[in-house]
């Protein structure tokens, strides 16, 4: 897996991602402490609102940012967004009112909504070989999981010698170092050869996404991931400390079990995907999520919670990690920022539904009923994914062009059969506006 680190550009980009993630982790801890300082016992409501603002920014801003990304050099855009995030983190220690937190969080997460899909869309251009790209996806998944484990421990260690306000300085440094690493390499920036209007550029990624069967299946898998993930992220503390009467360290251990399952699968997944299709792996992972979420309705003790959370983490990684391969396979290079932005927005729209549902249902109906509700959502999503994403999903598809002139250069692509049909790697674009029906 580590062989991909021989690529200097990817090595610098991965380092930028890891350092920015650590900075974001410190920011999360510091923001919680800041909310408590300003709002006291209402800190939970402040953080809940901040989380909702984050998801709204992700869903609403990502497609718009991708429209402008098409016109800008990727390196310049990524560096500028890192500097915006550093600037916001620099202002946070001076906040004195709750509404100021909301404004700064919206700006910060809007910058992240532009940064993350553009960053993700750059990796397949840097690593065009699919095996290398698969290993890069697993390393990225590991980076996210390690951040969730390391950032709280790092923050706890720093808080023994500094005040929480100084944690924001760590966030600033993280974003600045990330920007410096991006500056240190030359990034590919494929450009569309056809000028497009702002509406076309803004909606292009979502239109490609929804017109591609495998990506419609991916959207359903996103919902299964969000349903199971919301149960863990929102209600672990309720299970551990309210239902089982244990402490904060036990809550941290339960979340570590979830992260451990995810990391283990991320390590073995590249080799696994060499022998089984993406669809099989992702549906298996999503199915495990649905079953494990249903079992969570009857957890008798903390001892049962840990292995169940480990299984959910494993299913989470198996269902989610290969998604970049589907996006890469379903787009031309110049359309990847728009398509990755569509995945970013649509996947977070799923979380925008399941996060509050997991919290409100848990408070209103209790944990067993909440688990059943989320399991039904996850199970329905898995069934939808299996239906929307055909088992026969070839990359090269035979199709016709009824209105394309005989002399058009596009006929030279792929293999023609002499009956106004030809076959090539099929993606939705200006010449292919809909997916061909099976013959």
Domain final residue pick, 139, 157, 188: 188
224 Cβ contact list (under 8 Å, min separation 6):
286, 289, 290, 319, 377, 378, 379, 381, 382, 385
Q: What distances in angstroms separate CA 121 from CA 71, 221, 293, 322, 344, one per listed residue?
A: 15, 20, 32, 14, 11
Q: Are residues 317 and 369 in the same domain?
A: yes
Q: Kindly state whether residues 118 and 221 are assigned to the same domain.
A: no
Same domain, 119 and 222: no
Q: Give the pLDDT confidence score for residue 156 in this predicted structure.
A: 65
Q: What is the pLDDT of residue 43?
A: 63
Q: What pLDDT is attached to residue 369?
A: 95
Residue 387 and residue 245 share a domain: yes
Report if residue 131 sits inside a domain.
Answer: yes
Q: Which residue range forms the structural domain that includes residue 106? A: 8-188
Q: Of 69, 372, 375, 393, which Cα lies nearest the Cα of 218?
A: 393
- Let me know if residue 24 belongs to a domain: yes
- Ordered alpha helix ranges (H), 70-97: 74-91
Let me know if residue 403 belongs to a domain: no
Residue numbers of the chain with a pLDDT score lower than 70: 1-2, 28, 32, 36, 40-45, 47-48, 67-71, 145-156, 189-201, 417-419, 438-439
The CATH number for 54's domain is 1.20.1250.20
With a pLDDT cut of 90, the percent of the chain lying above it is: 26
172 and 109 in a common domain: yes
Residues 146, 35 share a domain = yes
Domain boundary among 149, 169, 188: 188
Q: Domains in the chain: how many in total?
A: 2
Tens digit of each residue's pLDDT (9 = 90 or more) over 202-247: 778 889 999 999 999 999 999 999 999 989 888 888 888 888 988 8
378 and 241, same structural domain? yes
Do 184 and 203 fall within a single domain?
A: no
Is residue 85 located within the same domain as residue 167?
A: yes
Q: Is residue 150 part of a domain?
A: yes
Domain-terminating residue out of 188, 215, 231: 188
Q: What pTM was estimated for this model as a whole? A: 0.83
> Residue 76: inside a domain, yes or no?
yes
Give the pLDDT score at 197.
60
């Amino acid at each position: 897996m580590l062989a991909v680190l021989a690529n200097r550009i990817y090595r610098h980009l991965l380092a930028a991602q890891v350092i920015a993630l650590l900075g974001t982790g410190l920011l999360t801890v510091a923001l919680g402490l800041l909310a408590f300082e300003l709002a006291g016992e209402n800190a939970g409501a402040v953080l809940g609102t901040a989380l909702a603002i984050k998801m709204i920014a992700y869903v609403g801003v990502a497609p718009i940012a991708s429209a402008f990304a098409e016109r800008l050099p990727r390196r310049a855009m990524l560096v500028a967004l890192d500097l915006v995030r550093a600037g916001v983190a620099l202002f946070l220690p001076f906040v004195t009112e709750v509404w100021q937190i909301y404004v700064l969080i919206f700006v910060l997460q809007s910058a992240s909504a532009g940064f993350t899909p553009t960053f993700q869309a750059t990796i397949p251009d840097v690593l065009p070989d699919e095996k290398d790209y698969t290993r890069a996806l697993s390393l990225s998944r590991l980076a996210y999981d390690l951040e969730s484990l390391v950032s709280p421990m790092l923050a706890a260690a720093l808080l023994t010698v500094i005040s929480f306000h100084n944690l924001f300085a760590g966030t600033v440094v993280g974003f600045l170092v990330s920007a410096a690493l991006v500056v240190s390499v030359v990034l590919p920036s494929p450009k569309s050869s056809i000028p497009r209007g702002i509406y076309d550029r803004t909606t292009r990624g979502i239109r490609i996404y929804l017109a591609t069967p495998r990506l419609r299946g991916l959207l359903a898998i996103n919902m299964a991931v969000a349903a199971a993930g919301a149960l863990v992220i929102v209600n672990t503390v309720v299970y551990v400390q309210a239902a089982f009467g244990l402490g904060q360290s036990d809550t941290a251990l339960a979340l570590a079990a979830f992260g451990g399952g995810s990391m283990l699968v991320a390590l073995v997944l590249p080799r696994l995907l060499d022998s089984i299709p993406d669809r099989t792996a992702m549906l298996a992972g999503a199915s495990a999520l649905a079953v494990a979420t249903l079992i969570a309705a009857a957890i008798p003790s903390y001892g049962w919670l840990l292995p169940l959370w480990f299984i959910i983490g494993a299913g989470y990684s198996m269902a989610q990690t290969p998604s970049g391969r589907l996006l890469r396979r379903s787009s031309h290079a110049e359309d990847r920022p728009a398509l990755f932005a569509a995945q970013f927005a649509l996947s977070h729209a799923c979380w925008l539904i399941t996060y509050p549902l997991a919290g409100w249902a848990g408070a209103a109906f209790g944990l067993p009923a909440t688990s059943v509700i989320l399991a039904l959502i996850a199970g329905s999503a898995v069934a939808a994914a299996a239906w929307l994403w055909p088992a026969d999903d070839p990359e090269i598809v035979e199709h016709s062009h009824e209105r394309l002139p005989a002399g058009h250069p596009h006929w030279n692509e792929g293999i023609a059969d002499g009956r106004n049909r030809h076959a090539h790697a099929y993606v939705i674009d200006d010449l292919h506006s809909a997916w061909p029906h099976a013959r």
